[in-house]
Amino acid sequence: MIRYFDAHSDTLSRILRLRASGEHADFKDSELLNNNLNNLIAGGVKCQSFAIFVPPYYDQEDQWNFALKQVNLFKTEILSHPEIVHITDLKRIDEIPDDKIGALLTLEGCTAIARDLWKLELLISEGVKILSLVWNEENSCADGIMSARGAGVSDFGKEVINLCNKNNVIMDVSHISVNGFYDVVKLADKVIASHSNAKVICHHPRNLDDNQIKALIEKGGIIHNVFTPPFVAEYEGERFYGTASIDDVIKHVKHIISLGGINNLAIGTDFDGIENYVTGLENSSKMQNYLTALQDEFGDQIAQNIAINNFMKLA
Ligand SMILES: [Zn+2]
């Protein structure tokens, strides 16, 4: 079994949204979760990222409350399981024993902090080690990829990047506008795209074009391939909202390797943030299907590197 690092899941927000609709949604074994604990153990995860994600329809005050509820859920429930180790220093991922799973807090979009840098300091003190400035919309840091304006990083966004650089927090460029992408690559010490694919293979706005991929490779950044079907496969030029195959994901890996990114590839499943699935990757218990496919295609060492070693170079 190849153990792996997953840079992105929406498990915290999914649990809270399920509970708001009356479901119990126990992290240990709920079948409504892609990333329940039993699935994560079966799939061989070494360290799972848990994103704090607040959908844009929350008003500003509720944004912060919903972010804190996710921190609370992470601390009181996810970390309460004896199999889980809280990772607050990325270097410690290497030391996780075979019978334990690392849990890493991340932040998807800074809208919840408004313009209060102390709120970000608080989240970093709770253990956030990877963060993106913005989701698809616009906020005080930058514009997201679905924003028509497409502005880059604001002065406040630059303060956020400085704070992250000072605290060894990795900046995540998935979801940001193209202008914002290049600003972050220039200003941040460490950069990843936590859940994005190659636009040449699947022309979705959330994917990265070749110049962006090359800029990340040059920066020493990491591209975490994502299993969201609309970001994986196109069908006769149309965006494809059905299923996709593991081979379709491998096409993105091959393309990024062809651009020189063999040491810049990793995994960012987006589990619990997606409603349809790559066939054979319906939840984290199936992850060895992907890792075996990588092994068959590229050999054991490259599969291990994509699974975790490439990301660990940023720790
Ligand atoms: Zn996302």
Q: What's the CA-to-centroid distance between 236 and ligand 1, angstroms? A: 25
Q: pLDDT tens digits, residue range 81-115?
A: 999 999 999 999 999 999 999 999 999 999 999 99
201 Cα–ligand 1 center, Å: 19
| Rounded-to-integer distance, Cα 83 and Cα 97, Å | 10
Distance (Å) from CA 285 to ligand 1 centroid: 21
Tokens of 81: 């399981």
Query: How many Å lie between the centroid of ligand 1 and the Cα of residue 175?
Result: 7
Quote the pLDDT of residue 298.
98
E strand spans, 73-217: 84-86, 101-108, 130-132, 170-172, 191-193
Kindly report the backbone phi and psi dihedral angles of residue 281, in degrees, each rounded to the nearest multiple of 5, phi listed first. Answer: -130, 55
pLDDT of residue 234: 74
Q: What pLDDT tens digit does each residue of the chain (315 aa) get? A: 999 999 999 999 999 999 999 999 999 999 999 999 999 999 999 999 999 999 999 998 899 999 999 999 999 999 999 999 999 999 999 999 999 999 999 999 999 999 999 999 999 999 999 999 999 999 999 999 999 999 999 999 999 999 999 999 999 999 999 999 999 999 999 999 999 999 999 989 999 999 999 999 999 999 999 999 889 987 655 555 567 999 999 999 999 999 999 999 999 999 999 988 999 999 999 999 999 999 999 999 999 999 999 999 999
Give buried/exposed letters for 132-166 (b at 16+ CB in 10 A, else e): bbbbbbbbbbbbbbebeebebbbebbbebbeebee
Per-residue confidence (pLDDT) for residue 239, from 0 to 100: 55
Structure tokens at 96: 């996780």
pLDDT of residue 275: 87
CA of 232 to the centre of ligand 1 (A): 14
Provide the pLDDT for residue 57. 93
Question: What is the model's pLDDT at position 237?
Answer: 56
Predicted local confidence at residue 101, as pLDDT = 98
Cα 93 to middle of ligand 1, angstroms: 23
Task: Record the pTM.
Answer: 0.96
Tell me how far the alpha carbon of residue 152 lies from the centroid of ligand 1, in angstroms. 19
Q: What pLDDT is stored for residue 241 in this prediction?
A: 59
CATH number at residue 249: 3.20.20.140
How many domains does the chain divide into?
1
How much is the pLDDT for 60?
A: 87
* Domain carrying residue 34: 4-312
CA angle, 209 as apex, 235 and 216 as ends, to 5°?
135
Q: Check if the beta carbon of residue 304 is closer than 8 Å to that of residue 1.
A: no
